[in-house]
């Protein structure tokens, strides 16, 4: 029975677009503007995972007031302006539940999540049913080093303890969908900085909670679509944590779960993402033909989505498979397509999860192809360029590309340069926990063993031998 305290339905009042913020973006694409926001955040020591989707939500008026981190970044970017000048509502008008009345306009305060009172049929009103949504909003919200990052991965929402079965099932709303999407962003941010090893075990409970949200149901199709997409993206993110930490069977299971979720919901973008990661996993697991097939399937699904950058990445996934099959011609053709598609530039159609894909990633993946084909000098050139181009925000990728460079140099007969690159990787391993990188570095050390007398090699081998290993 519905509580008598639930207020009557609110009028259908859509959010008001933030035209001032849109004007400030100017001719830049949302993705380009998001990159400027991230750069400004680094300048003042803030950590925000801004992307094109976030910019779109601000401009659409879905975020009436940013959280404190974004507020500091925006005021740094536009000195002398206030939040009101940037098109946002005063924090006092959106902050806190107690300040709201039933006549208040529905709002999104990014600090507290999303309330969605527009649909009079939605019986789950997040203004009055806070228990699950508050837990969701707290998920993934702390940062710090790799250990603290791992500790921050608490369950997403619906209580999973023994008493949960006795509680009535409530339908979920947009607040839970938003928290789920934010959880995916937070995992990606933590992985970019710290690598997967310290995060994977903590991510299982949030994934279970995400699928529990799907089972709880919602009355709005738009919210249901967001929940399916969010759960699928979280499955891919958890699968990537398993993949990058060497748990290939677990990764395969999570990617398959995401693919099933995508097909159930008819979500082509999610399906393309799942196939993309499946292709990457197949390459790493020594199944290159499967990698080619999965990458080609991803391209068929993704073509109508209109993102040249996505098609570029998928062509690189295909190139990796051809390299694994020792098919140099097929690899070169796929690489040429990837480069041509990348050259078309970014667009609003680029998926949110592709924030990592820039020129550095393009160079890094091409380096891996040439390494697989045994062309060490060419691989080293691309790996060196990847490490030089990489945004400092992506600590894990800097370590990865530098490890690739060290290995290519070692196998290409340049042990002194390989040792110097290996030392730079060891410097980063205090911040990054990745079995993939440690495995690469161990291979490099084995190649360098016969070259102990070369400059710097002995020092590298001794330091590598004494470095702690991920458990």
Give the pLDDT confidence score for residue 458 in this predicted structure. 95
- The segment with the largest mean pLDDT, out of 39-48, 101-110, 342-351, is 342-351
Beta bridge partners of 65: 109
User: Is residue 134 predicted with pLDDT exceeding 70?
Assistant: no
- Report which of residues 340 and 75 the model is more confident about: 340
Residues 384-430 have pLDDT tens digits of 999 999 988 788 889 999 999 999 999 999 999 999 999 999 999 88
Tell me the HSE value of 225 on the side-chain side, using a 13 A CA sphere. 7
Selection from 116, 193, 240 nearest residue 430 by Cα:
193
Q: What is the pTM assigned to this prediction? A: 0.62
Write the pLDDT tens digit of every residue in 322-375. 999 999 999 999 999 999 999 999 999 999 888 889 999 999 999 999 999 999
In residues, how long is the chain?
A: 471
Is the sign of the CA dihedral 407, 387, 238, 150 positive or negative? positive
Whole-number mean pLDDT of the chain? 77
The Cα–Cα gap between 392 and 389 comes to 9
pLDDT band, residue 171 (cuts 50/70/90) = low
Residues 6 or more apart in contact with residue 394 via CB below 8 angstroms: 192, 193, 356, 360
* Closest among 316, 221, 331, 220 to 266, alpha carbons compared: 221
What confidence tier does 189 reach under pLDDT thresholds 50, 70, 90?
Answer: low
Consecutive H or E run containing 114:
strand 113-114
Res 58 pLDDT > 70: yes
Angle between helix 308-324 and 328-342 (nearest 10) = 170
Q: Which neighbouring-strand residues pair with 109?
A: 65, 113
Alpha-helical runs (H) found in 359-455 = 359-372, 376-389, 395-411, 415-428, 435-448
User: Do strands 113-114 and 108-109 pair parallel, antiparallel, or not at all (unpaired)?
Assistant: antiparallel
CB 219 within 8 A of CB 123: yes
Which of 99-103, 213-217, 261-265, 411-415 is predicted least confidently? Answer: 99-103
Q: Are 67 and 111 in contact (CB under 8 A)?
A: yes
Count of CB atoms situated within 10 Å of the CB of 384: 20
pLDDT of residue 356: 84
Q: What is the mean pLDDT of residues 19-43?
A: 87
Q: Angle, nearest 10°, between helix axes 288-302 and 308-324?
A: 160
H or E stretch covering 109: strand 108-109
Q: Give the model confidence (pLDDT) of 283-328 as tens digits.
A: 999 999 999 999 999 999 999 999 999 999 999 999 999 999 999 9
Report pLDDT digits (tens) over 457-467.
999 999 999 88
């Amino acid at each position: 029975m519905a509580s008598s305290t639930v207020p009557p339905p609110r009028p259908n009042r859509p959010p008001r677009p933030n035209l001032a913020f849109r004007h400030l973006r100017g001719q830049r694409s949302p993705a380009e503007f998001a990159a400027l926001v991230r750069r400004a955040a680094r300048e003042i020591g803030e950590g925000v995972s801004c992307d094109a989707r976030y910019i779109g939500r601000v401009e659409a008026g879905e975020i009436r007031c940013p959280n404190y981190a974004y507020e500091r970044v925006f005021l740094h970017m536009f000195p002398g302006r206030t939040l009101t000048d940037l098109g946002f509502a005063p924090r006092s008008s959106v902050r806190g539940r107690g300040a709201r009345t039933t006549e208040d306009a529905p709002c999104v305060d990014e600090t507290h999540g999303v309330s969605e009172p527009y649909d009079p049929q939605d019986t789950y009103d997040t203004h009055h049913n806070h228990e699950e949504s508050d837990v969701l909003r707290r998920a993934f919200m702390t940062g710090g080093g790799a250990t603290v990052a791992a500790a921050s991965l608490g369950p997403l929402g619906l209580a999973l303890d023994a008493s949960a079965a006795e509680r009535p099932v409530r339908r979920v709303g947009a607040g839970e969908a938003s928290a789920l999407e934010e959880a995916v962003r937070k995992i990606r941010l933590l992985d970019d900085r710290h690598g997967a090893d310290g995060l994977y075990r903590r991510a299982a409970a949030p994934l279970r909670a995400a699928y529990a949200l799907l089972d709880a149901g919602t009355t709005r199709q738009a919210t249901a679509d967001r929940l399916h997409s969010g759960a699928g993206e979280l499955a891919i993110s958890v699968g990537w944590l398993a993949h990058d930490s060497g748990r290939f069977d677990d990764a395969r299971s999570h990617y398959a779960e995401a693919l099933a979720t995508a097909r159930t919901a008819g979500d082509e973008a999610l399906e393309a993402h799942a196939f993309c990661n499946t292709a990457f996993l197949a390459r790493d697991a020594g199944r290159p033909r499967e990698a080619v097939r999965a990458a080609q399937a991803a391209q068929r699904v993704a073509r109508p989505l209109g993102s040249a950058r996505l098609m570029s990445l998928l062509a690189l996934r295909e190139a990796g498979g051809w390299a694994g099959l020792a098919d140099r011609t097929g690899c070169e053709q796929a690489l040429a397509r990837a480069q041509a598609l990348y050259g078309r530039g970014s667009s609003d159609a680029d998926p949110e999860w592709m924030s990592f894909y820039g020129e550095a990633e393009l160079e890094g993946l091409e380096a891996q192809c040439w390494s697989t084909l045994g062309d060490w000098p060419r691989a080293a050139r691309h790996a060196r360029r990847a490490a030089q181009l990489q945004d400092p925000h992506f600590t894990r990728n800097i370590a990865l590309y530098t490890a690739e460079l060290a290995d290519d140099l070692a196998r290409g007969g340049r042990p002194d340069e390989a040792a110097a690159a290996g030392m730079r990787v060891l410097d980063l391993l205090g911040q990054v926990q990745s079995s993939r990188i440690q495995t690469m570095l161990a291979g490099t050390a084995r190649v360098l063993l016969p070259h102990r007398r070369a400059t710097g090699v002995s020092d590298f081998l001794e330091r590598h031998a004494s470095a702690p290993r991920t458990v």
